[in-house]
């Protein structure tokens, strides 16, 4: 029955398109080109390849409609279309394999809507259509689906809006892709079928425009108990709503030991010391004492050091010593002084002068080509991977090649004489098709008015940090959420496109509105998140289903970044690392640049700041890291002095407790103490046994994670 309904809806969609075609003949850009794209004719594996296929070359995904029109209707004397006998047109006979073989196989059935559109277009004289006519957007209905049972189906309905003000249904011609076939499958005609449980989205594309539909199916079981997950703030209210909707049972609140270690590592990049742990665990459990710890950490120098490193990783802070040192000092001043993030971004985007004296000017040295620099800015501040649009229309976003080069034009007039940054009066980014200079334009925005002689970057910074900007605040909020919760509300964090919706869209919107309304205050945003019950859930218990974990039903264990791990080893053992050019006692998170020599940090996988490090805490790991931790200097060279030299004189109880409190932020369990108590002799082997205990703790999985 459901299948019959879906087929009926699909037939209605096709008849709707046919009705539109009957009223006005199809034109190339808004009618024919979507058919070719949907059929895969202009894909990279077919005629969209750089050299084309079988003598026909089309632009990839139809990013160059004018050239495609010329090649289909004019190239080789127009032999690909037959205006007198449309059905005999080569483009139709090949695509439908009607009397002619096609290396790519049959792409259009003769009874399909796409075939009818192409035939009617040719019969009408193959009109190009008005040069300024284009699709301005699409709407998919329903935008959000909650389905209960596997096999349940729905038909998606896609409506396109055109630049002439008209609207038409294009469900039968749109392209559909499921982001997770294990949850929902989608047919070529837009028929959706539930295949599993969890949350996913369907990507919809038509004529360069994109949209997405969220699809959810409740998990099996009854979900959480009545009154479960009492909210600590409004973040929890949003999260709780999704738990109820999808029948998810969240983990319990984490205990005080797990909270304290997680808070120190997530906020300050260091472990709590033994005395702090003892004092915290001795006090009665309460939310008030947790909030006190959060506020103390947010006000600490350790917070400043750690978040300076976090932002330096994001901004790819690197380069020669004088410039890198000035940039790092400036960045630390911003974090210490609680500078609003929009001001930080504005100063980086518009900086000029000698980077050795004006730190933020170092950002302009990330790339000399305006295109490369625009890609850095798009990824870092706008959460957009615009690089694909350098050569062709973006396959999963709405950016065209023109959008890309107009955005890059903001950085075309920058002089770097002797690495001194200055605004120049000359410099353009040319349209790759026409070779003509392009005026700057913000992504998804209108033309920007730039006064004569003004630095183009000022206009960009003004647009970028405007509270109504749809990308800027959303990007940093999502990055902070990912750091604290282990995954972003949108993943990857630099891919915030309409076809990649958030797991909790309303929550992300609310966080963005709050962040913007309170002056882009990073500390306030962090405090808001870590004060929530969501962040303070235990890492065990509740629904273990992958979909539940994705929706933050339990805390995710996060591997310690290389610098934090190295500092933690030094802190536990009481033996500091030594870094060339830095005073004794310098922590790894305080290093200015990854150019500072450190074989240990290299093998542990520190961010090299040559590319984005958002998707992973490090670029190391694997066998080399495992062997280094077992046999290398990072741990083993610290087992002959410091804490190891002090512990043998203590009782067995004091030794084991000291190691567990320092390394794990908790007391040992009875079984753990009994096991080590039996292995701690009272003779000359005692020091060696203490070293073994410490070595085991520092090589454990528990130590290497944030809780």
> In whole angstroms, what is the distance from residue 202 CA to residue 215 CA?
7
- Residues 424 and 414 sit within 8 Å (Cβ to Cβ): yes
Confidence of residue 392 (pLDDT cuts 50, 70, 90): confident
The mean per-residue pLDDT over the stretch 68-90 comes to 89
- Residues 127 and 27 sit within 8 Å (Cβ to Cβ): yes
Q: What is the mean pLDDT of the chain?
A: 90
- Residues 538 and 553 sit within 8 Å (Cβ to Cβ): no
> In whole angstroms, what is the distance from residue 572 CA to residue 661 CA?
9
| Percent of residues, the chain, with pLDDT higher than 90 | 71
Structure confidence at residue 648 (pLDDT) = 93
pLDDT at 344 over 80: yes
**C-alpha Rg value of the chain to the nearest Å:** 30
What is the tens place of the pLDDT at every residue in 170-184? Answer: 999 999 999 999 999
The mean per-residue pLDDT over the stretch 375-381 comes to 96
- Residues 697 and 572 sit within 8 Å (Cβ to Cβ): yes
What is the tens place of the pLDDT at every residue in 644-686? Answer: 999 999 999 999 999 999 999 999 999 999 999 999 999 889 9
pLDDT at 468 over 50: yes
More confident residue, 524 or 8: 524
Question: Look-up: residue for tokens 């009109």?
Answer: 127
The mean per-residue pLDDT over the stretch 496-500 comes to 90
pLDDT at 547 over 80: yes
Q: Map residue 34 onto helix, strand or coil.
A: helix
The mean per-residue pLDDT over the stretch 473-487 comes to 97
Structure confidence at residue 3 (pLDDT) = 44
More confident residue, 624 or 287: 287
In this structure, what token pair is assigned to residue 198?
Answer: 């969890």
> In whole angstroms, what is the distance from residue 106 CA to residue 348 CA?
53
pTM, two decimal places:
0.90
In this structure, which long-range contacts are made by residues 603-606, counting pairs with CB atoms below 8 Å and at least 24 apart in sequence? 603/628, 603/632, 604/562, 604/565, 604/566, 604/628, 604/634, 605/562, 606/561, 606/562, 606/563
CA distances from 665 to 242, 266, 293, 397, 670 (A): 32, 14, 14, 45, 16
Question: Look-up: residue for tokens 């959460």?
Answer: 383
Structure confidence at residue 419 (pLDDT) = 84
pLDDT at 688 over 90: yes
For the chain, domains (ranges, CATH) are 28-123 (no CATH), 135-217 (2.60.40.1080), 338-464 (no CATH), 562-576+598-704 (no CATH)
Least confident of 136-145, 244-253, 556-565, 603-612: 603-612
Helices assigned H by DSSP within 605-651: 622-631, 633-636, 643-646
Structure confidence at residue 545 (pLDDT) = 87
Query: Measured between alpha carbons, how far apart are the two ends of the chain, in Å?
Result: 51
Structure confidence at residue 457 (pLDDT) = 96
What is the tens place of the pLDDT at every residue in 291-302? Answer: 999 999 999 999
> In whole angstroms, what is the distance from residue 42 CA to residue 392 CA?
11
CA atoms within 13 A on the CB side of 332: 18
Confidence of residue 11 (pLDDT cuts 50, 70, 90): very low
Residue 259 CA, distance from chain mean position: 26
Confidence of residue 23 (pLDDT cuts 50, 70, 90): low
- DSSP lists the bridge partners of residue 56 as 53
More confident residue, 452 or 307: 307
Least confident of 346-350, 466-470, 485-489, 541-545: 541-545
- Phi/psi class of residue 386: alpha, beta or left (left: φ > 0; alpha: ψ in -120 to 50)? alpha
pLDDT at 632 over 90: no
């Amino acid at each position: 029955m459901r299948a019959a309904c879906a087929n009926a809806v699909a037939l209605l969609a096709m008849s709707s398109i046919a009705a539109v075609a009957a009223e006005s003949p199809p034109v190339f850009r808004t009618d024919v080109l979507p058919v070719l794209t949907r059929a895969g004719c202009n894909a990279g594996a077919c005629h969209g390849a750089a050299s084309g296929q079988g003598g026909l070359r089309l632009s990839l995904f139809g990013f160059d409609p004018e050239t495609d029109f010329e090649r289909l209707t004019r190239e080789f004397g127009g032999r690909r279309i037959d205006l007198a006998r449309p059905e005999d047109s080569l483009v139709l006979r090949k695509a439908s394999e009607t009397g002619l073989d096609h290396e790519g196989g049959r792409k259009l059935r003769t009874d399909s809507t796409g075939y009818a559109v192409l035939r009617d277009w040719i019969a009408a004289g193959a009109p190009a259509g008005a040069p300024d006519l284009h699709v301005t957007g699409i709407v998919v209905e329903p935008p959000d689906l909650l389905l209960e049972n596997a096999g349940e189906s729905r038909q998606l309905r896609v409506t396109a809006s055109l630049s002439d003000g008209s609207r038409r249904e294009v469900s039968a011609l749109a392209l559909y892709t499921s982001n997770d076939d294990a949850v929902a499958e989608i047919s070529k005609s837009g028929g959706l079928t539930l295949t599993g449980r969890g949350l996913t989205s369907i990507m919809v594309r038509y004529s360069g425009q994109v949209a997405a539909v969220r699809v959810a199916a409740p998990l099996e079981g009854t979900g959480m108990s009545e009154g479960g997950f009492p909210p600590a703030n409004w973040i929890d209210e949003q999260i709780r709503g999704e738990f109820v909707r999808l029948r998810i049972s969240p983990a319990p609140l984490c205990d005080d030991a797990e909270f304290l270690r997680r808070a120190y590592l997530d906020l300050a990049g260091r472990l709590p010391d033994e005395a702090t742990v003892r004092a915290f665990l001795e006090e009665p459990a309460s939310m008030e004492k947790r909030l006190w710890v959060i506020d103390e950490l947010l006000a600490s120098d350790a917070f400043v050091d750690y978040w300076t490193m976090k932002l330096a990783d994001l901004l790819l802070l690197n380069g020669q010593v004088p410039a890198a040192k000035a940039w790092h000092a400036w960045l630390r001043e911003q974090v210490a002084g609680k500078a609003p993030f929009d001001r930080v971004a504005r100063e980086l985007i518009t900086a000029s002068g000698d980077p050795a004296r004006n730190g933020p000017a170092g950002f302009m040295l990330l790339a000399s080509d305006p295109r490369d620099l625009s890609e850095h800015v798009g990824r870092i501040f706008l959460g957009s991977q615009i690089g694909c649009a350098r050569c062709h229309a973006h396959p999963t976003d709405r950016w065209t090649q023109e959008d890309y080069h107009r955005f890059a034009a903001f950085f075309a007039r920058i002089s770097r004489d002797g690495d001194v940054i200055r605004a120049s009066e000359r410099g353009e980014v040319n349209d790759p098709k026409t070779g003509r200079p392009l005026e700057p334009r913000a992504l998804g925005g209108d033309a920007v008015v730039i006064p004569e002689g003004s630095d183009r970057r000022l206009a960009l910074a003004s647009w970028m940090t405007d509270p109504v900007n749809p990308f800027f605040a959303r990007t940093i909020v999502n990055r902070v959420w990912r750091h604290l919760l282990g995954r972003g509300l949108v993943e990857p964090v630099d891919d915030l496109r309409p076809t990649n919706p958030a797991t909790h869209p309303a929550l992300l919107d609310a966080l963005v509105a709050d962040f913007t309304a309170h002056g882009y205050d990073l500390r306030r945003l962090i405090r808001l998140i870590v004060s929530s019950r969501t962040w303070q859930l235990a890492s065990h218990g509740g629904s273990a289903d992958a979909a539940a974990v994705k929706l933050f039903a339990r805390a995710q264990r996060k591997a310690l970044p290389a610098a934090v791990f190295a500092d933690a080893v030094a802190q536990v053992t009481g033996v500091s690392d030594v870094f060339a050019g830095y005073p004794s006692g310098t922590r790894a998170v305080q290093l200015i640049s990854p150019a500072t020599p450190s074989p240990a940090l290299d093998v542990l996988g520190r961010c090299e700041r040559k590319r984005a490090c958002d998707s992973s805490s490090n670029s190391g790991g694997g066998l080399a890291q495992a062997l280094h931790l077992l046999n290398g200097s990072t741990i083993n060279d610290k087992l002959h002095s410091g804490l190891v030299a002090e512990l043998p004189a203590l009782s067995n109880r004091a030794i084991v407790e000291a190691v567990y409190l320092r390394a794990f932020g908790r007391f040992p369990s009875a079984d753990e103490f009994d096991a080590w108590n039996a292995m701690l002799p009272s003779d000359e082997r005692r020091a060696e046994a203490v070293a073994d205990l410490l070595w085991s703790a520092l090589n454990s999985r528990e130590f290497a994670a944030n809780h």
